[in-house]
Amino acid sequence: MIRDIDRILIARGAISDRVRSLGEAITKHLEDVDADQEIALVAVMTGSLIFVADLMRHLPMKIRIQLMTASSYIGKSTQTNSDPVIGKLPNVKDMHVLLVDDILDSGKTLTRIRGKLQELNPKSIQSCVLLRKKLPSAMEVPCEYVGFEIEDEFVVGYGLDYDGYYRNFPDIGVICP
């Protein structure tokens, strides 16, 4: 184990099982979409990189992968900014959108991205996050698919980082204070 990680919060096997079940639930919902209608999986990089790669392998349908960036943290902070920085938005007009992100904590980033995507006139938008913190602000944000609900701890691994490090850690761990 990496010495900066205090403890494993969610082991890789549990993550794998949950990603599979999320894929099954999303597939069940999207199988009713007409084959002529496009489905866009919009991945919020870089934190969702590993989650998206694993999740899309469980979506046996024709989908278009769209990437975008958003940042709530600056440098070595473990606290979110008041105003997330949103990168270039993908073209999702007339598409069914599945917005995928790594973690829902303050709710500001997902709310802002969803609002911006809605302005582009998609047919529908649904959100999927690997983790949602048990915070009032996070629980109020619409999110149709949630992998795990966690306490308000700073976590790394499986794509989540601290100052750009630990994304490659295969489990989700709590970083040392």
Q: Is 101 a catalytic residue?
A: no
- Strand-pair category, 64-71 with 39-45: parallel
Spatial contact of 107 and 141, defined as CB atoms under 8 Å apart: yes
Spatial contact of 110 and 143, defined as CB atoms under 8 Å apart: yes
Write phi, then psi, for 120 (nearest 5 degrees): -90, 5
Q: At what angle do helices 12-30 and 49-56 cross, to 10 degrees?
A: 60
Which among 54, 101, 102, 105 is annotated as catalytic? 105
Distance from chain centroid for Cα 138 = 13
What sign has the CA pseudo-torsion 87, 84, 123, 17? positive
> Which residues are annotated as catalytic?
105
